Chain A
C-alpha cells in the first residue's frame, strides 16, 4: 500500500493543492488543508489508525533553500 501511495504521490500534479498538506490513502486524496492539524485530524477521522501518506505541497513560486 505504501508503495502504491508513493507512486501516486510522485506522479500526481499537485498544483491545485499548492501550500496545503494532503493526506493520501489507497491512491486517493482523503483530506487537504493549509492547516496541518486540520488536515491530519480530517484524515484520521476518515480512516482511523490505518496508514496513509501525508505530504506538504510547496506554495506557488516557492524555491526551496535547504
Chain B
C-alpha cells in the first residue's frame, strides 16, 4: 500500500469553542458520493454515521443479511482480530445489511445497522464497514478495519492531526 501522510486540522465551530480534530473523507456507495466531516474518535469501534446519510447514498436497510451471518456477527469475538477481519470482509464483499445494537459513552443502547461504504481521504481509499445509526449525531471516524490501514495518528499540540498510512 502507498505510504501517505495526511494532516488533519482541528476545527472550532464557533469562536471560543473547544477545537476538535475533523477529517473530511468522501464516502461512496455504488457511485453515489457524499463528503462527510467526521470527528476523529479513537474510542469508537466503527465509523458511525446517521442512517439518513446512508439512505441518501442509496443504501436499502430493509435488505437484511441472512440468519447465518447475523448469528456469526452476534457470536463474534471482537478481540479475535483475524476472525473479525474475515467476517467483515465477507459482509463487505456480499454487501450485507447487518442489524446490531451499540452503546455510546452516555450509556444509551441504540439499534443500528452495519453496511459497507468506500472511504476516500486524499489518495487513501478503502472499503470499510460503517455503523449507521438512527441517532442525530456528529459523524465519527472510528477504528475497526480502518485504523489497521493506518501506521500512525499523531495529535500535535491541539493544532493538527497527522495520519500516516
Contact = CB atoms under 8 A, between A and B. Distances in A.
B65 interface: no
Task: Please indicate which of the listed interface residues A9, A36, A64 has the most CB atoms of chain B within 10 Å of its own CB.
Answer: A64
B19 to A, nearest CB: 11
Contact of A40 (B52, B105, B139): B52
**Which of B15, B34, B140 is the most central at the interface, judged by chain A CB atoms within 10 Å of its CB?**
B34
Contacts of A49: 31-32
A66 B105 contact: yes
Interface residues of A, number: 27
A32 interface: no
A58 B34 CA distance: 19
Interface stretch (B20-28, B69-77, B124-132, B148-156): B20-28
A36 B18 contact: no
A60 B35 contact: no
B79 interface: no
A10 to B, nearest CB: 5
B13 A58 contact: yes
A13 B32 CA distance: 28
Contacts of B52: 36-37, 40
A10 B11 contact: yes
Contacts of B17: 58
A37 B138 CA distance: 14
B14 A18 contact: yes
Interface of B: 9, 11, 13-15, 17-18, 20, 22, 24, 26, 31-37, 39, 41, 43-44, 50, 52-53, 56, 105-106, 136-140
Closest 7 CB pairs of A and B: A53-B35, A6-B24, A15-B14, A51-B33, A36-B52, A55-B37, A66-B41
